[in-house]
């Protein structure tokens, strides 16, 4: 089972940027397609971005044009570059497979807080 550790979150003002990282102890290819999720207070966890081994990306409408998902296969690490952040982006962010059937383990996530 792949072990996942998210990092890079923090407090940022609206309009700011952050880059999240996801380190995996196992091969991230086993998660294919790979994805980033977020869970805001009082809301369900949602998939916001995904990427296949072929480089095909998908984003939920609310983050499209602002978030970019990428993978460094040499470092076995996933990234989520976030820009033009909004208060609505405040959530705990997790990395995992974009297929729910493959989300057998969840890391602790990393907190992103967008506030002035």
pLDDT digits (tens, 9 = 90+) for 33-56: 999 999 999 999 999 999 999 999
Mean pLDDT of the chain: 95
d(CA 112, CA 66): 15
pLDDT of 85 above 90: yes
pLDDT of 2 above 90: no
Which pLDDT does position 64 carry in this prediction? Answer: 98
Which pLDDT does position 29 carry in this prediction? Answer: 87
pLDDT of 26 above 90: no
Which pLDDT does position 104 carry in this prediction? Answer: 87
For residue 70, CA distances in Å to 11, 43, 56, 106, 116 come to 22, 26, 10, 19, 28
Q: What is the DSSP letter of 16?
A: -
Which pLDDT does position 39 carry in this prediction? Answer: 98
- Quick one: average pLDDT of 71-89? 96
pLDDT of 89 above 90: yes
């Amino acid at each position: 089972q792949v072990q996942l550790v998210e990092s890079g979150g923090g407090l940022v003002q609206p309009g700011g940027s952050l880059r999240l990282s996801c380190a995996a102890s196992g091969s991230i290819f086993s998660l294919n397609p790979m994805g980033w999720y977020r869970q805001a207070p009082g809301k369900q966890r949602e998939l916001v971005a995904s990427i296949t081994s072929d480089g095909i990306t998908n984003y939920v409408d609310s983050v499209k044009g602002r978030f970019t998902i990428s993978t460094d296969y040499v470092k076995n690490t996933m990234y989520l570059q976030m820009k033009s952040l909004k208060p609505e982006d405040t959530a705990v962010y997790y990395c995992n497979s974009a297929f729910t059937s493959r989300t057998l383990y969840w890391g602790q996530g990393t907190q992103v807080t967008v506030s002035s």
